[in-house]
Structure 1
Amino acid sequence: MSAVLAGTLAACEGPDPAASSFALPPTASSAPAPTGDEPGTSTGTTGTSGPVPEDSSTSSTGEPGTTVPLQDLGMPDLGDLHPVGCKGKIDFLFVISRFGYMETMQERLIEAFPDFIATIQSKFVDFDYHIMVVDGDATWGSEVCNADCNPTGCPYPDYPCDAIESITACDVTMGAGTVFPAGKGASNVDCGIVGGRRYLTREQPNLSETFACLAQVGLTGDHLLGEAVTAAMQPAINDPGGCNEGFLRDDALLMITFISNTLDLYSAGKPKLWAEAIANAKHGDPNSVVMFSIHFPECNPSDRLCDLVKYYFPYWHIADNADADYRPAFEVATDLVEEACSAFIPQ
């Protein structure tokens, strides 16, 4: 397990289980600031902020589409810049657990993807996307098979033993885009991204099929999603020469989708630091990010991923990973994207 952030692994105080799993920019009252060691609470209804964890300074202004800058996260006051909209330029980051028993959830994500993209495309005439998948582990494939890729040492008959010698540094870098999922339940093939990139663009033929290949990351790995998203936001990995060179665009809206079946108790750092990395990657503008999680909507006190999604960004939705069909949840996410895009101010 690689650590990209220093910090403790203390879990944040979680929300009230009755809080809504869906929020647009706040339209009602401001969330009260936390006092002492206990998080603050609010009504938890749609359009208002939920309970605030102890390491957060998020608050709402009461006006749609705006938030008070999170000074703790180094977010500057953007002033009265006039929103020009994202004009259909959106960077999609899917952060997927490789932990055991994820096969059904990966399948449901793959099933929902074509409808999701079609709906987004219908909302934006000039839809211009980057789509990248990262998983919650810095390793490639199965360590057991990589060490001994013979029938006696590797229990997965379709494991791509021939590829072991050709894996690159980016294949074993936390936060780098997945291009060749390997291991139990994985695609076990090079997914064929065009242009030598680690993410998909409008140049990619067979978009849905290629995404299906990428999203089937398998079941032989970890679920360090907080650590993975933080690593994917770092300048070095997105700058020229980095593994994800060019993925994040200053003039694009960013949508981050998490999917997991376990609590992220072991990622380095804590939600405040993960949120800081995301905000910094978007020039301190939380309104330029849409957070979507297919996880546990009840948000128990140990759910650090819920804290990240729910308390630091105004556009968010949490769906239940046990749902038989993820398409309705993605419908909600498309509305969030449209709302956020209309208020977007490119940097």
Structure 2
Amino acid sequence: MLEDAFACVASMGINGADGVAETTVLALSDDLDGPGGCNEGFLRDDALLVVVAIQDTYDEGSKGTAEDWAAALVEAKGGDADAIVLLVISTDIDMAGSLCGPTIGVEHELRTWTELMPHSLFGSICAEGYSDYFADAAAKITEQCEVFAPQ
């Protein structure tokens, strides 16, 4: 059983270092989540999909765009964007007043991804702690659970 679990995790590749969004999309694919896949049963019609993506840089390695990643999440939940809560914790160097240092002009696809999802939060990886982000995400999850209609 441990060998099977490791094989499943290992099949995701090393994209977590540079491509957290792509890795998220891969985890939801039919190959991994469908019948016989190592994540079989992860996506359930009777549950919200909660995604927590943590990356200390802006995403330079993921294939696709923020729009593609958002569409993949919504597709995974049968077209119901209200069945998804997304929390992204990443660098904030794209915004004035950055906690991570001097602001530079980059297109931060992880921030864009967050902004495209209706029930999402973005937090700075350079904050002293993340408890407020997780508390806010838990509140969003609770709100969505109260209105969630299983498919």
| Larger helix percent | 2
% identical equivalent positions: 34
Aligned to 1:248: 43
- Which structure has the larger Rg? 1
Give the 3-state SS of the residue equivalent to 1:257 in structure 2: strand
Distance 1:325 1:338, change over 3 A: same
RMSD: 2.3
* Contact 2:32-2:40 within 8 A present in 1 as well: yes
| Structure-to-structure mapping, 1:182-261, within 5 angstroms | 222-261=17-56
| Structure-to-structure mapping, 1:288-327, within 5 angstroms | 288-297=83-92, 299=94, 301-311=106-116, 313-327=117-131
* Contact 1:235-1:281 within 8 A present in 2 as well: no
* Contact 2:34-2:41 within 8 A present in 1 as well: yes
Q: CA deviation at 1:222?
A: 2.4
Aligned to 2:150: 346
- Counterpart code for 2:89: I
Q: Give me the whole-angstrom Cα distance separating, in 2, the residues matched to 1:173 and 1:343.
A: 35
Q: Could you give the per-residue CA deviations for residues 93-135 of structure 1, whole angstroms, max 9, x where no partner exists?
A: xxxxxxxxxxxxxxxxxxxxxxxxxxxxxxxxxxxxxxxxxxx
Aligned to 1:263: 58
* Contact 1:287-1:315 within 8 A present in 2 as well: yes
Aligned to 1:173: 11
Q: Give me the whole-angstrom Cα distance separating, in 2, the residues matched to 1:167 and 1:327.
A: 29
Q: Could you give the per-residue CA deviations for residues 30-79 of structure 1, whole angstroms, max 9, x where no partner exists?
A: xxxxxxxxxxxxxxxxxxxxxxxxxxxxxxxxxxxxxxxxxxxxxxxxxx
Q: CA deviation at 1:279?
A: 0.8
Q: CA deviation at 1:167?
A: 9.4
Q: Give me the whole-angstrom Cα distance separating, in 1, the residues matched to 2:5 and 2:84.
A: 32
- TM-score, L = length of structure 2: 0.81
Give the 3-state SS of the residue equivalent to 2:17 in structure 1: coil
- TM-score, L = length of structure 1: 0.37
The higher-RCO structure (CA 8 Å, 6+ apart) is: 1
Q: Which runs of 5+ in 2 are unaligned?
A: 96-105
